Structures are given as C-alpha cells and as structure tokens.
Amino acid sequence: MALALGAAVQELQASQVADQFVKGLDYPIAKTQIVNAARDASLGPAVQEALNKIPDREYADAEDLTRTMNAS
C-alpha cells in the first residue's frame, strides 16, 4: 500500500510541475521549443515523454497544450 501511495504522490507532483511548466511558456510556441525548454528545465522523464508524444505543431496557449497532452 505504501508503494502505491508513494507512486500516486510522485504522479501528482509531476502533474503539478508539468502544469507550472506549461503555464510558464511563451505562446504561441512550437513543439520543438517546448521539448527543448522541458529538457533545459530538467523536467522528469514522465513529463518529457508526454511532451515527446504531442503532435509536431504550434500551440496557441497553455490550454491548447494541456488539452493535447491529456489526449495523448
């Protein structure tokens, strides 16, 4: 049970970090710029993997990027 709770806490923390990261970007922004910024910010592998899966296009705002990440 403790391992499951620890994993859930880590997932929540990663989600919060990703949310802050997405909101802090300057829009509009292209996928390559997003991926590079995530790498430069040393975001965790789960967040970087999610960003690598998004379509290669320009994102208008944080809501656009978040919606796409959640759909991937």
pLDDT in tens, 27-36: 999 999 999 9
pLDDT digits (tens, 9 = 90+) for 28-72: 999 999 999 999 998 888 888 889 999 999 999 999 999 998 887
pLDDT at 26 over 90: yes
Torsion of CA 68, 70, 13, 11, to 10 degrees: -140
pLDDT for residue 40: 95
Q: pTM, whole model, 2 decimals?
A: 0.81
Distance between CA atoms of 12 and 32, rounded to whole angstroms? 25
Distance between CA atoms of 57 and 40, rounded to whole angstroms? 20
User: What helix, strand, coil percent values describe the chain, rounded to 5?
Assistant: 70, 5, 25
pLDDT band at 16 (very low <50, low <70, confident <90, very high): confident
Taking alpha carbons only, the member of 58, 72, 59, 65 closest to residue 22 is 65
Q: Quote the domain boundaries for residue 12.
A: 2-71
Tally of domains in the chain: 1
